[in-house]
Structure formats: C-alpha cells, structure tokens
Amino acid sequence: MPRVTYIESNGTEHVVAVPVGVSVMQGARDNLVPGIEGDCGGLCACATCHVYVEPEWAKRCGEPDELETNILDFAFDVTPQSRLSCQIHVTDALDGLVVRLPVRQY
C-alpha cells in the first residue's frame, strides 16, 4: 500500500499507508491526521483540505482542473504548490508522496 507523509505546519510528520484509489484527503481523515478537515466530504467545494505538494511530486499528482483552481481561491495562503487533497487520488506511483499542511485551512 502506498505511503503518504503529511507534515503539519509545526513540522510534525505523519506517515500513513493509504489504499490505491483513495484521496489524499480521505487518507488523512481515516488516519486522524490533524489539519485536514474536508468539510465537504471530498466534493471539491470547500478548500478545507488544502495542502502544499512538494515540488518533486507535483507532476505525478497531475494538474488541478478549473474547478479545483477556482475553489483554491477560498483557501488560506495559496502558493504554486497548493492543491486540494480531495482531488489527488493515490496510485502506486504516489508511494512516498509528501504534502505539507498550511497553518490554517481558512
């Protein structure tokens, strides 16, 4: 099972196994990783699952679509590495993925 590392804004790391096909957001929620709320349940409607994808992983995660880009306008402290974790679905190619969490979600 692929492993994803979630790094809180204070530097605390959580390395968890996330099943293939599950979103990075759901993997965090299932493993009680603090800082990813996912209030909309993964429907790309709230920006409370905002993460920063480490640059070396960006291409493997794919490009955000127009809806995700528009919803990111509601997120706090957006950067070029910002993504909504509900829109990144784990594959074997994402084994070792590292995402950082913002100081706050909104």
Position 106 scores a pLDDT of 76
Q: Where are the domains of the chain?
A: 3-100
Environment class of 61 (CB within 10 Å of its CB; exposed 0-12, middle 13-18, buried 19+): buried
User: For 32-80, how does the pLDDT look when each residue is reduced to its tens digit (9 = 90+)?
Assistant: 999 999 999 999 999 999 999 999 999 999 999 999 999 999 999 999 9
- Is residue 100 over pLDDT 80? yes
Q: What gap in Å lies between CA 81 and CA 91, rounded to an integer?
A: 19
Q: What gap in Å lies between CA 41 and CA 85, rounded to an integer?
A: 11
Residue 49, token pair as written in the block: 């699952």
Highest CATH level, class, for 3-100? alpha beta
Stated pTM of the model:
0.95
User: For 6-39, how does the pLDDT look when each residue is reduced to its tens digit (9 = 90+)?
Assistant: 999 999 999 999 999 999 999 999 999 999 999 9
